[in-house]
Each structure stands twice: as structure tokens, then as C-alpha cells.
Amino acid sequence: MPKLSGGILMFRRCEQVVEFFLVHPGGPFWQKKDVGAWSIPKGEYDPGEDSFEAAKREFEEETGMKAQGTFLPLGEIKQPGGKIISVWAVEGDCSADAIHSNTFSIEWPPKSGRTKEFPEIDRAAWFRLEEARVRIVKGQVGFLERLMSQLG
């Protein structure tokens, strides 16, 4: 059974240009990665769990903010690693500087015997389409395209 993930792609319109709210994963693996490392706020959920409710929960856990408004389903995309991501878009606005993410613990440095805590998300930003296509994880670009198609 593939892993399942649900996410919320927040967007806003600024001077007739669409901008996308993306997050950068925290932790030592992603620390020096930028291009192709950003993501839609999302997280895993269990089979049988409501994917839309999970997507809203994960948005809040990763950003510290609630996504509210009229949600547009963008469907599912299977990632190169096999995970299936379901995403909904919502028009909104939030401060990228105001995010507050959950944390996770891992042994760091590896084989040190010490456990260190890192934020799930270490930063967020608004990007116009051209920049978002470059920054976002390659397997999620399709969600940007689907939203743009729905918006006309």
C-alpha cells in the first residue's frame, strides 16, 4: 500500500499575478537545499482517514495557521517514490514570517547517540508561478499547473 499525503496549496492574486504559498522542510538534510526542495504544506494520513480533513490538519501543523475559504480540489498525483498526494487549493493570505511548525526528533549527528529536535518546516514564502516551478519539489509541479488551469 503506498503512503498517502494530503495538502493545501494556498494562493493569492497580487496585481493580476497569482502567487503560491510554499514551505521549506526543516532538518539537516534540507538545510542547504533550495531549488527543487520547497513543498505544498502537506502530511501523511492513514488509509480510511478523510484526506481533505487530513490536508487541513497538516496545513495547520506545519504552518501554525488555519486554511479557510472555498477549497478547490486539485486531485491526486503519484510521486516518483510512490507516495500519493491529494491537494486542495484555497485563496487566502498569510504572513510567511509568522509560521510556527511542529517539530520532529532524529539522532544528530548520525551515530552520535544524541537526539536533536528540528522544525518540520523551517521557513515559508510566496512565489510567483515561474519561481514556484523552480523551487517546488518536481513531483508537485503538476498541482501548480492544475490550479492555473482552473483559474483560467
Domains of the chain, first to last: 4-151 (3.90.79.10)
Global confidence as pTM: 0.93
Q: Kindly tell me the sign of the dihedral angle through the C-alpha atoms of 71, 51, 41, 98.
A: positive
Q: What is the pLDDT along the chain (152 residues), one digit of tens a residue?
A: 899 999 999 999 988 899 999 999 998 888 889 899 999 999 999 999 999 999 999 999 999 999 999 999 999 999 999 999 999 999 999 999 999 998 889 999 899 999 999 989 999 999 999 999 999 999 999 999 999 999 98
The burial of 12, by beta-carbon neighbours within 10 Å (0-12 exposed, 13-18 middle, 19 or more buried), is given as middle
